[in-house]
Amino acid sequence: MKSIYIIPFELPWNWTADYQKQTILELNNKNKKVIAYMNKDACFFLKRKNVFYPKIKSVIFFQPIYFFPFQRFLFIKYLNQFLNLLFLKILFFKEKIYFWSFDPDFFKMAIYSNFLRITTIYDCVDFHDHIEPKQQQKIRDMENKLIKSVKYFFVNSKELFKIHSKTRFADAIVPQGFSLNLFKNKIKKINSISLLKKNKKPIIGFVGGINYRLDYDLLIKLAKRNKNWRFIFWGPIQKQDNDQLKNIQKKQDELFSLENVYTNKSLKKTIPSVIEYFDVCIIPYKKSYLFNLYSYPMKVFEYFYKQKPVISSEINELKTFPKNLISISCNYEEWEKSIKKSIKIKESQKNKKIKRQMAINNSWKKKVGAILDKIK
């Protein structure tokens, strides 16, 4: 019997954290049929909207339809989810169907999938959290229900394994997921950065979404007190709607107004060439957010593949790495000291080889392969 994998999306296809997209692309590489369930684009059947999706072999982009109006009511929302799943079950009745979820929001769909005899998977890649206590508890409850309901449960870090062990032991800790194929491509020059490189001043760099997760107070202080360094933040600036995070935009404006701080963004395929210009790579996350503390940033392996010095805020999973691979800095003084040391002392060839091999070991191919081996 052939297999088909339903992977639900809550965010756009080309979002910065693209674990769903990368999982689909890897399944496609393995000649697996996939349904990208684009929940964000769902609409009422009387108000259909046209959405452009890329054409990918063996990938079906499915736009859910609301058969009943008043989606704001949970009962109606869940009923519509069930009907869409039932439609897919009937459409692909000859195939073994898997429901592969990354998000607690889809816990009801996992429960419905069990009822419809669809094999369920929860691929936990993040510590799901919210700044508002009520929303935080809601997420916790949904995730616990999801973990308990699925047939297979995977995590990508020791930290997540430990956190969720109170609810259920994960079936396996799988590799993190890293775009190895992208980083193996030939490097292309980024003119705007190459001009900065000619100044021969150290470049301290970050790649990824520029949002509330960054420690702006730390970064502003570092940039103001070290004007001989150039700071580059490469990625989309993501605004926040939450009232408690409105001051983040002011912090962003202050940081990017400094003469030695630069920001830009480009297509994902240019990220390897951007990192190539960095002298030091940073993960300056605000440690007071639990989402940051228990995270496992994908970018660490992007930095590792390029064999760059890496400095990070306190992130529990990264604390388990050897100190000669990642410098963990807790305050301004430690950050400044670590950056100066990384600029001054060249990394050994041994460390560089270890970093690259760790990145290779955490490729999407390795991760998806590990899960497929478990669910056979």
Domain ranges within the chain, ordered by starting residue:
3-173, 180-361
180-361 and 3-173 share a CATH fold: yes
Q: What are phi and psi of 300, to 5 degrees?
A: -60, -35
Does the pLDDT at position 120 exceed 70?
A: yes
Lowest-confidence pick of 92-96, 149-153, 197-201, 244-248: 244-248
Determine the Cα–Cα distance for residues 368 and 285; give it in Å rounded to an integer: 28
| 3-class DSSP state of 36 | strand
Does the pLDDT at position 14 exceed 90?
A: no
Determine the Cα–Cα distance for residues 170 and 300; give it in Å rounded to an integer: 23
- 176 is written with which tokens? 């993190």
- The tens digit of pLDDT for each residue in 143-195 reads 999 999 999 999 999 999 999 999 999 999 999 999 999 998 776 667 667 66
Q: 138 near 123, Cβ under 8 Å? A: no
Q: 66 near 83, Cβ under 8 Å? A: no
pLDDT at 196: 67
Determine the Cα–Cα distance for residues 298 and 315; give it in Å rounded to an integer: 13
pLDDT at 254: 95
Q: 164-168, long-range: CB within 8 Å, 24+ apart, which pairs?
A: 164/124
pLDDT at 242: 62
Does the pLDDT at position 115 exceed 90?
A: yes
Lowest-confidence pick of 142-151, 264-273, 330-339: 264-273
Determine the Cα–Cα distance for residues 282 and 273; give it in Å rounded to an integer: 16
Q: Which helix (H) or strand (E) holds 336?
A: helix 332-344
Does the pLDDT at position 55 exceed 70?
A: yes
pLDDT at 89: 97
pLDDT at 311: 98
Q: 18-25, long-range: CB within 8 Å, 24+ apart, which pairs?
A: 18/268, 19/102, 19/123, 19/125, 19/177, 19/298, 20/102, 22/177, 22/179, 22/364, 23/100, 23/102, 23/123, 23/177, 23/364, 23/367, 23/368, 24/56, 24/59, 25/56, 25/364
Is pLDDT larger for residue 249 or for residue 186? Answer: 249
Does the pLDDT at position 309 exceed 80?
A: yes
Is pLDDT larger for residue 341 or for residue 268? Answer: 341
pLDDT at 118: 97
Distance, CA of 157 to chain centre: 13
Mean pLDDT in residue range 49-53? 86
Q: Which of 150, 149, 187, 154 is nearest to 173 (CA)?
A: 154
Beta bridge partners of 8: 37
pLDDT band of 130, cuts 50, 70, 90: confident
pLDDT at 349: 95
**Could you say which architecture CATH assigns to the domain 180-361?**
3-Layer(aba) Sandwich (3.40)
- 250 is written with which tokens? 């002011």
Q: 359 near 304, Cβ under 8 Å? A: yes
Mean pLDDT in residue range 63-69? 91
Determine the Cα–Cα distance for residues 226 and 336; give it in Å rounded to an integer: 9
Determine the Cα–Cα distance for residues 90 and 124; give it in Å rounded to an integer: 28
Mean residue pLDDT of the chain comes to 92
Mean pLDDT in residue range 249-259? 93
Distance, CA of 234 to chain centre: 16
pLDDT at 249: 86
Does the pLDDT at position 135 exceed 70?
A: yes
Mean pLDDT in residue range 7-34? 91
Lowest-confidence pick of 45-59, 168-182, 345-359: 45-59
pLDDT at 194: 67
pLDDT at 87: 96
CATH classification code of 3-173:
3.40.50.2000
- 128 is written with which tokens? 């799901």
Tell me which DSSP letter residue 162 carries: H
The amino acid occupying position 79 is: L
Is pLDDT larger for residue 49 or for residue 260? Answer: 260
